[in-house]
Amino acid sequence: MAEEMKEVIIREFQPSDLRQVAKISASSFRSDLLKLVKLSEAQMVDFLIETGESFPYPFPGYIVAERNGELLGVMRLTWHKQNKPKARFKISKILRYGWLTTIKLLVMRYLFPEKPSKGACHVAEIAVKQQTRRRGIATKLLNFGKEVALKNGLSKYTLNVDASNITAFNLYQKMGFKIEKRHRNLLARWLMGVKEWYFMSLNLGASNQ
C-alpha cells in the first residue's frame, strides 16, 4: 500500500482533468449535492461541469493528485488577489435545473463565500476518490498547498467544514487546524441540512505536518 502511494504525484490542474475532477466531486459530495438537485451520479458530473461548479481552468492553487494518469484527489485554494480566471456564474445553465436549485446554489455561495481575508489561503474544496481514501492523499494535497501558499506570501490556511463531517474534521485537526468560529444559520439548515459548521484556521508557520 505504502509503495502504491509513492506513485501518487501532486500537480496543478489541467483542462483535460475536468471530467475526472467533476467525477470525484460528484461522488464525494453526493449527499450534499442531492439536497441541491435530484440527479444520478453521472448526471451530477454534467451538472457540475455545465454550471461551472467544477472549475474548468487551471490557476495557481488548483491542485490534483494523480497516479498513472488516474486522478485520485482534488483541492482548490483561493486567496485575495489570486491570479485566477474569473468564475462565470452560468445562471442560464443553472436555471435549466429549476428555480429551487438556482436559489439554493446562490444561497450556498452567499453562506460559504470563497473570499478569504488578506494573507489567508482558503481551502475552497478538497476531495479524494472513495477507493483511495485513508492513504494520506488529502494530507499530501494540503502539504503541497501549504508550499504554494507560503510561496505566495500567505501565512494562514482557512476553511469551512460541516460539523457533522467527522472524517474531514479529524483530518483538519490532525493537520493542526483550530476552530475559529462556530456557525449556525436557519437557511443553511433548511436548504442544505447543515445544522452547524466551523470556520477553522491554521497558522502555516506552525503546521504539524
Ligand X SMILES: CC(C)(COP(=O)(O)OP(=O)(O)OC[C@H]1O[C@@H](n2cnc3c(N)ncnc32)[C@H](O)[C@@H]1OP(=O)(O)O)[C@@H](O)C(=O)NCCC(=O)NCCS
- Contact positions toward ligand X, by CB under 6 A? 28, 126-128, 133-139, 161, 165, 167-168, 170-171, 174
Positive/negative CA dihedral, 15, 204, 25, 105: negative
Give the shortest CB-99-to-ligand X separation in angstroms. 27
Give the shortest CB-5-to-ligand X separation in angstroms. 9
Give the shortest CB-116-to-ligand X separation in angstroms. 15
Give the shortest CB-200-to-ligand X separation in angstroms. 9
Q: Which is nearer to ligand X, 41 or 96 (CB)?
A: 41
Q: Are strands 156-162 and 120-128 parallel, antiparallel or unpaired?
A: parallel
Spell out where 101-175 has E strands.
Answer: 120-128, 156-162
12 three-state secondary structure: strand
DSSP 131: G
User: b/e map of 145-177 (b: 16 or more CB within 10 Å)?
Assistant: bbebbeeeebebbbbbbbeeeeebbebbeebbb
Q: Which is nearer to ligand X, 28 or 158 (CB)?
A: 28
Q: Which is nearer to ligand X, 104 or 140 (CB)?
A: 140
Q: Which is nearer to ligand X, 93 or 136 (CB)?
A: 136
Give the shortest CB-124-to-ligand X separation in angstroms. 10
Amino acid at 113: P
Q: Which is nearer to ligand X, 5 or 18 (CB)?
A: 5
